[in-house]
Structure 1
Amino acid sequence: MGTSYRDNPSCHHVPNLITGSTDGFGLCVAQKLIQKGHTVYLHARSAQRAQAAENACPGAAGTFMPDSALPMQVFVNVLAPHILTCLMHKPKRLIYISSKLHKQGQPANMEDLFWARRGEDQWNDFASYCDTKLQVNLLANAVAKRWKGLASVTTVHPGWVATKLGGQEAPDRLEDGVETYVKHAEGDYGQGLTAAYFEPRGKLGEQLAAAGDEGLQERVVALLEEKTGLKIPA
């Protein structure tokens, strides 16, 4: 997830908060934006990881989020973006990091968003990843509907590349995903688009049809609001 704020309408460079920024795509994007003169805030799950990320990216400011009792993949991919969306000042641009694997997510699993019913015995990393990325698209599309005309809200699939998550057999280029991140952070895309989904190199993609279901969008928002006690600002 990334956000861009415009403090001064006449200034090209804007502050950016980048989550998932301790390595991989997020760290590369932070380094690129700092080179371009932007103010960048990094995010990590512990103070130690935040410091390591800051050391790897001089000129950025580090923040951290404590561990949660919820499944970490669900917390990082869905709950944390919801919390940040609710607590931040409305940005000019809001970019949620999705995946093409959202198309393998199961809408039927929405009611067990936090795995309370299935439990640890039925936990499956891949199935959870696909589900959480579909849930991110649903969240993003719900926010886009609420903030239409006030902020540009998009989802991005950065590509399957050789990061710790992607593994060494991944076929895509890191540079293509980073290019998409940077273009969105700087507003170099059609910002009149609402709830748009982008693929590497800024290519406009097609979401799973279920991601456009307003009933599912509102259900995931309701579950997140119930869990956190936070509501998306009007």
Structure 2
Amino acid sequence: MPATAGPGAAGPVVAVPGTLCAPEIFAPLAAALPADLDAVDWMTAPGPWRIEDVAESVARRIEDRGEPVTLIGHSTGGCIAARVAAVRPDLVSALLLANTGAHMRGHGDVDRILATIAADWGPALHAAVLDRSFATPVPPDLRTRLLAYAARVSPAAALEVLTSQRDLDLTPKLDSVTCPAVVLHGRHDRARSVADAQYLAERLPNCELTVVETGHTPIWEDVPSTVAALDRLRTR
């Protein structure tokens, strides 16, 4: 994992991880920021778990803070974060979306994952999803903790959120996002292409695209680039 760098976001930050992804994935980023980072554990929280429902829950969490936040979303969490920013722009001062997309067309294995969740939920699936999320293997102790987190997730939560994400297209709502945004994308992602990131960035009104040499999880794999992206948001 790279060393930390840069001042990053100056105000409060709320971060939403992806499907089966523990909030711990944001820990190195939190350590690099001067601001408080609140990582949302939405997958082990009570349902419902549709994108719209989780986005509403995240919006209430931000409301409770009493001020707009920089909102980070990774993978499925990016879809959730984009939905919050589109529906409740008053709650989001800046938006960083990592390896996500406006829709799941072309996301090659979502139907296979859904079928496996329904038929063969368990450690093998958890490991496969985890391992394809990084360009290089994570440290064994972290991998153990991330797999332990995935084991605590209800298969119903994973099935419901991924089904809703598969069926959702955020494109018509993206022009409602009024805050500055960065789409951060790891070039070596095995699930999402750079074209997905370009499509999303082009449809957000005030957005830049940053492509880095990581896999699906640049918020852990390249903390300095993530901090630099947050710093650019702060000064725009």
Higher relative contact order (CA 8 A, sep 6+): 2
Normalising to structure 1: TM-score of the pair?
0.38
Choose 1 or 2 for highest CA Rg: 1
Normalising to structure 2: TM-score of the pair?
0.38
